[in-house]
Amino acid sequence: MTPPARGSLALAIDRYLRHLAIERGLAANTLAAYRRDLDAYVAFLADNDVATPEGISPAHVSAFARYLGSRPEGALVASSMARTLSSVRGLHRFLVGEGLVPTDAATDTKPPKLGSRLPKAITIDQMAAVLAATDGDDPQRMRDKALLELLYATGARVSEAVALNVDDVIDGDVVRLFGKGNKQRIVPVGSFARAAIDTYLVRARPGFSLRGPSTPALFLGSRGQRVSRQNAWLIIRAAAERADLGFEISPHTFRHSFATHLLAGGADVRVVQELLGHSSVATTQIYTQVTADTLRDMYTTAHPRAR
């Protein structure tokens, strides 16, 4: 790979993004987010007459951080600011590592502290109502039920679920998921999800597959194409409306509920970490706080001397 010219910040960023794609295996959507963040950084630097990696000083990085919190078009919220500065800090570490600059100009710029955001799960009864809202004998309902049952049974990210091929459902009771960085994990599939998938494969998928080009995709749309993430969102929204939940849910609601219900049922946090595909147990431990809060609420409500 030919190194970028030292005078070209744009080429250095292109090289950094290729590094993220090849060495770290980041998904296309994640890379697009990095690109947007760094495009904003480059535009800010250009307004300050900086166009080269070696022309960036710590003062420029600090000024960019302040700019994010006071942009004329609207200040970024803390989470967006933290993500943008993370992209910038990663770029500067890369520039040093590749020998394009002698020092890291972003080393002293810290992202804003974020308040802990607890994941939002729904109750077991609410989840049962959503899944029941996909009952039906028409092919689309069979597909929708298989998809939603699988999301709840495995805690899969929606991108992982729609990327599944038929051969990824292994030996009847486990599924092979490919997570961030294309990391593979094997997750059990419960009897309800297995039954829904079997029904869909036998009674619905063959009809869908005849309407489009041959594809190994597990979940197919009405034209025989792989179901997209956007399709999955719409399927979930429609099921929630039929279940009369009174609020919106998302694909991640299934993942949050999967983890919360497992921990509430006594599952070990490290097992849940493996099932979710979290690289750090600290990420999974957020769900233990949700469970503790639920227990505390129940105690306060039920115990005669709790308050």
Catalytically active residues, by annotation: 157, 180, 252, 255, 278, 287
Tokens of 93: 């570490």
CA 112, 38, 28, 221 torsion: positive or negative? positive
CA gap 16, 20 in Å, rounded: 6
Q: What does DSSP assign to residue 166?
A: G
Phi-psi region of 190 (alpha: psi -120 to 50; beta: other; left: phi over 0): beta
Q: Is 54:100 a contact under the CB 8 Å cutoff?
A: yes
* Closest to 19 (Cα-Cα) out of 11, 39, 183: 11
- Distance, in Å, from the CA atom of 70 to the CA atom of 142, rounded to the nearest integer, reads 50
The residues with which 169 forms a beta bridge, in sequence order, are 175
Rounded Cα–Cα distance for residues 178 and 292 (Å): 30
- Chain-centroid distance of CA 149 in Å reads 19
Helix (H) or strand (E) holding 184: strand 184-188
Contact 168, 268 (CB under 8 A): no
Burial class, 91, CB count within 10 angstroms (exposed 0-12 / middle 13-18 / buried 19+): buried
Integer Cα distance of 90 and 84 in angstroms = 10
Structure tokens at 229: 């993430």
Residue 19 identity (one-letter amino acid): H
